[in-house]
Structure 1
């Protein structure tokens, strides 16, 4: 059972209530009742705030993971460049063109191997915890999926030995 309550509205607010009631094909009383219930319900704003907080927390965790992954990538690249520059001797001038051709071939093999790894969906960052947990398996690949040893895989022992 509902109780009658007389309220006074400004002409502009009453016009807006009437327009909304007409658009939604509802009574003016139901529009006002819903508005008052929403105003009195502390759950509405609390629920919105909790939802925003959960979303912000999730985004913060995602950003932290991205920062960690980028940091690992940068450190791995820096370590590789330092190692490469330390162990690679300069080439004589007469071997430059052959080395450039071999470099293009190896780069093409690298791109193909990278494409295969990306297609698998499992990357280095997912393998690192497995490598740490199984130190006796120091082959460079986790969970037994060794790269294919062919002419197009720059990580194969044959390709690494050709430097």
Structure 2
């Protein structure tokens, strides 16, 4: 058995409280926890493995953010095209027809929200459907 040497370390109050809490929770001596932390810090292989793990995780997160950005760009572009078409094709209503049109609009909106809720609950994604239609050569066909 190797002879251990004494080391005096000064910790701020918060760090000491955290160390004491961990020692109590793990039923371990504070010195053994400190020793394990120092070994972990000084061991280059562990640091390299940790860095590689963090790098892999960051790469996955980057790819995920890229997909979200692409999907968001697709959604914004689709919404912008729809709004442009709607604004271009929808004539203004005469004053007497506004109340009926607003009531019909509310009814259609509620129907839209119900349909959207059902699709989201089923996990259906329009982008996935469009991608499949495009790949099968049915792009532009409304089903």
TM-score, normalisation: structure 1:
0.65
SS at match of 1:24: coil
Counterpart mapping for 1:22-37 below 5 A: 24=28
| Aligned counterpart in structure 1 of residue 126 of structure 2, from 124, 128, 133 | 124
SS at match of 1:90: coil
Q: 1:66 to 1:33 in 2, by over 3 A?
A: closer
Whichever structure has more helix as a proportion of its residues is: 2
TM-score, normalisation: structure 2:
0.73
Counterpart mapping for 1:78-117 below 5 A: 78-117=80-119
Query: Residues of 2 paired with 1:39 and 1:71: CA distance?
Result: 43
Structure 1, unmatched stretches of 5+, are: 14-18, 142-163
Q: 1:97 to 1:47 in 2, by over 3 A?
A: same
Matched, 1:61 2:71: no
Contact 2:119 2:125 in 1 (8 A): yes
Q: Which has the higher contact order (CA 8 A, sep 6+)?
A: 1
Q: 1:48 to 1:95 in 2, by over 3 A?
A: same
How far off its partner does 1:47 sit? 0.8
